[in-house]
Amino acid sequence: VSLAERVVPENRTIEVLDHGFVRLDDSMASDLSVVNAARVSFARRKEEMDDADRGLVRFLLRDRHGTPFEHNAFRFHVRAPIFVAREWFRHRVGSFNEFSMRYARATDDFYVPEADDVRTQVGKPGSYSFDPVEPEVAETTREELRAVYETAYAAYERLVELGVARELARSVMPVGAYTEFYWTVNARSLMNFVSLRAAETAQREIRRYAEACERFLAEEMPVTYQAFVDAGRVAP
């Protein structure tokens, strides 16, 4: 994430992929909370950060004293394809609530990658690299996806129309369908997420979401964020 990209929009919503977003719904986060959590060991408390505090944050991060980074919270509202959400929900340290296709009608928004994002994989499991495809292959991919989405959604609507319960009718929905969820997480766990999911080894789609989350981390806790980057993007 470059310096320019660290600036987040005023509405705290970063658009991701064709129909998705990451919105920071609310937060209780500051670098000062890290410092005060650490200094409580010595019964000390600060109202403002100084250079010594910045040094302390860097020390805590580098030496992996992780708990002072847990006294804060980021509440994100996310709209992402189901396959991205599945990867995301593997991150157990944090809280999720998701849109229910049992109770509400499924969305008809589906992920169709930009032509540039259609790729081929080369190499072996664990060390794939992803290369661009010919323009015709990219267009065929996009058309195939659209065709499947249209057929699937038409079947879903027919089943619901026939009175089939939504919880069952949703079985026809592809993992490219969009879902929504809230995710509340502390900075330590968020750094772990960013470390793993904004990395080159992560799938391109979740990577875009992780990069959006990273921008909010940088905005809310700039000293912590810089220390994280300087420590090689390893969460404490």
Ligand X SMILES: Cc1cc2nc3c(=O)[nH]c(=O)nc-3n(C[C@H](O)[C@H](O)[C@H](O)COP(=O)(O)OP(=O)(O)OC[C@H]3O[C@@H](n4cnc5c(N)ncnc54)[C@H](O)[C@@H]3O)c2cc1C
- Specify the residue for token string 């658009």: 15
Choosing from 79, 197, 208, 215, the catalytic residue is 197
Residue 96, amino acid: F
In the list 91, 119, 166, 233, the residue contacting ligand X (rule: CB under 6 A) is 91
Q: Does 121 bind ligand X (CB under 6 A)?
A: no
Q: Which stretch binds ligand X (CB under 6 A): 44-52, 91-99, 215-223, 225-233?
A: 91-99
Q: Does 202 bind ligand X (CB under 6 A)?
A: yes
| CA dihedral sign of residues 75, 79, 84, 85 | positive
Q: Closest CB to ligand X among 177 and 191?
A: 191
Q: Does 72 bind ligand X (CB under 6 A)?
A: no
Give the shortest CB-182-to-ligand X separation in angstroms.
Answer: 16
Q: Does 92 bind ligand X (CB under 6 A)?
A: yes
The answer to whether residues 135 and 200 touch, using CB atoms and an 8 Å cutoff, is no
Measured between alpha carbons, how far is residue 62 from residues 49, 72, 170, 199, 234 in Å? Answer: 19, 19, 46, 19, 9
* DSSP alpha helix (H) spans, the chain: 31-39, 51-62, 82-88, 135-161, 166-169, 187-197, 204-220, 222-230
In the list 189, 205, 220, 221, the residue contacting ligand X (rule: CB under 6 A) is 189
Q: What share of the chain is helix, strand, coil (3-state, %, to 5)?
A: 45, 20, 35
Q: Does 73 bind ligand X (CB under 6 A)?
A: no
In the list 196, 211, 219, 233, the residue contacting ligand X (rule: CB under 6 A) is 196
Give catalytic status of residue 197 as yes or no: yes
Q: Does 100 bind ligand X (CB under 6 A)?
A: no
Q: Which residue is nearest to ligand X (CB)?
A: 92
Say which residues have a Cβ less than 8 Å from residue 180's Cβ, sequence separation at least 6.
77, 78, 79, 80, 98, 99
Q: Closest CB to ligand X among 16 and 185?
A: 185
Name the site residues for ligand X (rule: CB under 6 A). Answer: 90-93, 189, 192, 196-197, 201-202
